[in-house]
Structure 1
């Protein structure tokens, strides 16, 4: 995001929890200020800015993190939007997620027009993003200029943590994925997501939400593409979802109760029972969202991980 904004001539001030871990942003002449969504002086830190990109959130599929998810994603969104209003921010782009929308039960790619009831959303993370989006709509109803974007599954370079999707790529590269489940994702190049945020700022309609996505692929298709571009063998085949469900239940419910941090979140496996396919035509038509080929996004991710020693 910072790279795209500075390339387009914007001066960027970034709120970061640990500036020493964000030194790479200085390469794009980004001003770093220390804090998070619970910082008391958010208004002061925002003074002098014209627009806000609220992309901060806590991501976890562990049920034990429920309180933190709501404290950061819901209460934190309420605090930063109120601070933006007080600081005189002219327009805000709020980064929600397709997680907040849910999956259309009719089996077709989901659009912005659909909304799953919150109780039907799988995981406290998804429900926290739903309620955070409601906070944004409350602010909009009170006259605040906010555009909502709902990224699907970004992939590409700079996924340092990594994200769950980056973890899939890494596990494939490390030969740690002998089998896979029958699920699916909507993928988009991470740079297209960043550009989509800027396009939402410049062209988005107040109160509207835009899915920032591109191509729907099954997990088998994704792994096949990775195999073709790396020369590594594909996983052996598909396994029934009941097997990882059992492992995740044992890991999180039984071993977790004994104090062992779970490696496989149960809600993550439950989510995999749905093909999370989305339709981004609204963002393409109204914003001009770019659609970089997904093979390029996968290749960029593989190259970035290999060059930085994440895998052999």
Structure 2
């Protein structure tokens, strides 16, 4: 079976690639630019862009399966339209090209970012309703609209498309890093002196990759499955990282509202420079108003999904960041 994988140069995509390799599949990778790190005898490299439909049509030819993991994952962007083109328009073009080429099975990587929150505070599941107006920031809006488009395509074609919604993956290989990886790295290096009162669902990136394969094997077309781990407060996450590094845990809890002027200034500074990432963004503060807790019960029941303790995910991430070359 020939499988097309997008996003293999990214954090989650590279983990999915490791998992697919274990199945001895015929793997084709869609990349935007050449990557010496991904050149190997057991994969075929092809080049294209989610903004170039012709390149996508060529990439899917001869494939029976597609794992669409690629996405522009940034919590702040100077040009939201570019993110929409990649995450929404690119996803539509890729899936339409795949179905036209006869691809038989598709796993689409969405995000828990598209889910709503329950008024009683219990962890969100796949039925936690939300609208696009509830989405904070360009990334969440783009992933919400992309998942809606995937559902529409699945219904129109009665296609074998399964959606997975990873929570907050951490672990080795977060090269860029992702926004969460940046937080783990900075905490491991003692660069996080304070925190806000929020919470995250922490999952090992390799468990997310395993969940992708389980969804491919067992997922029901048109359904979505949360691939998550342990629900932890941010204070607890930072305390665990401190325990792994021997550094003191941050004790200063800051009110979110007090950080908004800093966020506005940081975004303005990055815009003026034309490069870089704000140390904190307005959207991050708005999102922190909710504890982002989720349940993977559906994936556990239907896919056989399991996750290791968050401590293992954080340990592997911290170890990798402390050994990685400085960036």
- TM over 0.5: same fold? yes
**1:180 matches 2:156:** no
Q: Which runs of 5+ in 1 are unaligned?
A: none
For residues 109-152 of structure 1, give each alpha carbon's deviation from its aligned partner in whole angstroms, at most 9, with x where no partner exists: 00001121210121121111111011101111112210000000
Contact 2:74 2:178 in 1 (8 A): no
Aligned residue among 156, 171, 174 for 1:156: 171
**1:131 matches 2:145:** yes
Shift of 1:27: 5.2
- Matched residue SS, 1:144: coil
- Matched residue SS, 2:238: helix
- The answer for the alignment partner of 1:309 in structure 2 is 325
**1:60 matches 2:74:** yes
- The answer for the alignment partner of 1:230 in structure 2 is 245
For residues 229-272 of structure 1, give each alpha carbon's deviation from its aligned partner in whole angstroms, at most 9, with x where no partner exists: 221111132111112222102222x4466455551321112111
The 5 A counterparts of 1:27-66 are 29-39=42-52, 40-62=54-76, 64-66=78-80
Shift of 1:28: 7.6
> Is the deviation greater in 105-114 or in 54-63?
54-63
- The answer for the alignment partner of 2:214 in structure 1 is 199
Contact 1:14 1:31 in 2 (8 A): yes
Q: Which runs of 5+ in 2 are unaligned?
A: 1-15
Question: 2 CA distance for matches of 1:246 and 1:104?
Answer: 30
Shift of 1:11: 1.9
Normalised by the size of structure 1, how large is the TM-score? 0.94
Question: 2 CA distance for matches of 1:19 and 1:256?
Answer: 29
Question: 2 CA distance for matches of 1:171 and 1:243?
Answer: 21
- The answer for the alignment partner of 1:13 in structure 2 is 28
**1:2 matches 2:20:** no
Question: 2 CA distance for matches of 1:193 and 1:18?
Answer: 25
* Distance change in 2, residues 1:27/1:227 (3 Å): farther
Question: 2 CA distance for matches of 1:63 and 1:7?
Answer: 36
RMSD (Å) for aligned C-alpha atoms: 1.7
- Matched residue SS, 1:124: helix
Contact 1:5 1:11 in 2 (8 A): no
Contact 2:78 2:271 in 1 (8 A): no
- Matched residue SS, 1:64: coil
Aligned residue among 252, 272, 289 for 2:305: 289
- The answer for the alignment partner of 1:300 in structure 2 is 316
Aligned residue among 266, 278, 283 for 1:267: 283
* Distance change in 2, residues 1:64/1:106 (3 Å): farther
* Distance change in 2, residues 1:293/1:134 (3 Å): same
For residues 91-121 of structure 1, give each alpha carbon's deviation from its aligned partner in whole angstroms, at most 9, with x where no partner exists: 1000010011133333110000112121012
Contact 1:63 1:123 in 2 (8 A): no
* Distance change in 2, residues 1:28/1:289 (3 Å): farther
Question: 2 CA distance for matches of 1:7 and 1:160?
Answer: 22
Contact 1:182 1:220 in 2 (8 A): yes
Shift of 1:29: 2.3
Shift of 1:61: 2.4
For residues 5-33 of structure 1, give each alpha carbon's deviation from its aligned partner in whole angstroms, at most 9, with x where no partner exists: 1112222111111222xx33345822211
Normalised by the size of structure 2, how large is the TM-score? 0.89
Shift of 1:164: 0.9
**1:240 matches 2:240:** no
Question: 1 CA distance for matches of 2:229 and 2:190?
Answer: 27
